[in-house]
Amino acid sequence: MQATIRTILVIYKADHAKARAMAWTVADWLAARGLTVLLRENLPEARNAVLPAGAVLATPPQLALILGGDGTMLSAARQAVAEGVPVLGINLGRVGFMTSAGLDDWQEVLADILQNGFTEARRIMIDVAVIRACQTAYRTTALNDAVISRGAMARLAAFDVTLGDVDVCTLRADGVVISTPTGSTAYCVSAGGPLIYPGLDVLCVVPICPFLSDFKPVVVPADSPVRLALSAPETNMYLTCDGQELFPLDDNDEVVVTKSPRCLRLATRAGDSYFGRLRLKGFINRP
């Protein structure tokens, strides 16, 4: 449990009037309770606005509120706009699996956190690199997943799969998902992969529509690099990270996924339940 919360950073969805208005509503509510509030649009170059006017920031924020949906949470994590600060999401989107509050209960949730504090949970992130002709052609960091998938042509791709230091197989498929536990409720489960408890230090490799292959979704230690080398010509493949960055792949490119030294720090309340959230969002149905 953390020390008393005195400063809160509020990050709101970029170019979204509803999120901006909601951010000021939340900031006013917090300021009325004696907190210093930093407001920031979810853009790398955005500056902070400080409430109350003229307030002196004595310490870094103890908590960051992310106003938007899962996409805003992913973007904020990837851009590191709240680096080193525990985050809590207020859902303005649709599914909001990563968020802890919504438009109907944010005051109740924040009041509870201000009074009783929160517990921090850490979620692993991945570094994703594309190696082309022995050079790094692309590099990024993701929270949910890295997905290799085909473009407009309905043509199978072939991947030489290496897990850790073991050459596993050559896989023919429409693509491959490499997911963190956090991302297991996204494309991973839609492609037939498992739900993975978020605190585990693992990655999941899931083929998309494999062809004549016994390769099943596999969970590996996060410290074991995942390497996928394209081995079929003219397959028109793309790498997508967290559904937010797209990079075109060339024949013979190698995609390397490793555990990042960065992580997402999530603020959780007492009584928060992963399986309760799965039921709430429709992943598990009660009998």
CA atoms within 13 A on the CB side of 149: 18
Contacts of 99 (CB under 8 A, 6+ apart): 66, 69, 70, 73, 88, 89, 90, 91, 93
Strands (E), 69-201: 87-91, 119-132, 135-142, 145-150, 157-163, 166-173, 175-179
* Amino acid identity, position 120: E
15, 28, 70, 251: the catalytic one is 70
The partner residues of 205 in beta bridges, in order of sequence, read: 178, 218
The conformational region for residue 133 under phi > 0 = left, psi -120 to 50 = alpha, else beta, is left
Contacts of 83 (CB under 8 A, 6+ apart): 262
What kind and span of H or E run contains 116?
A: helix 106-116
Q: In angstroms, rounded to a whole number, what is the distance separating the alpha carbons of residues 124 and 256? A: 16
Q: In angstroms, rounded to a whole number, what is the distance separating the alpha carbons of residues 264 and 261? A: 10
Does residue 70 have an active-site annotation? yes
Which residues are known to be catalytic? 70
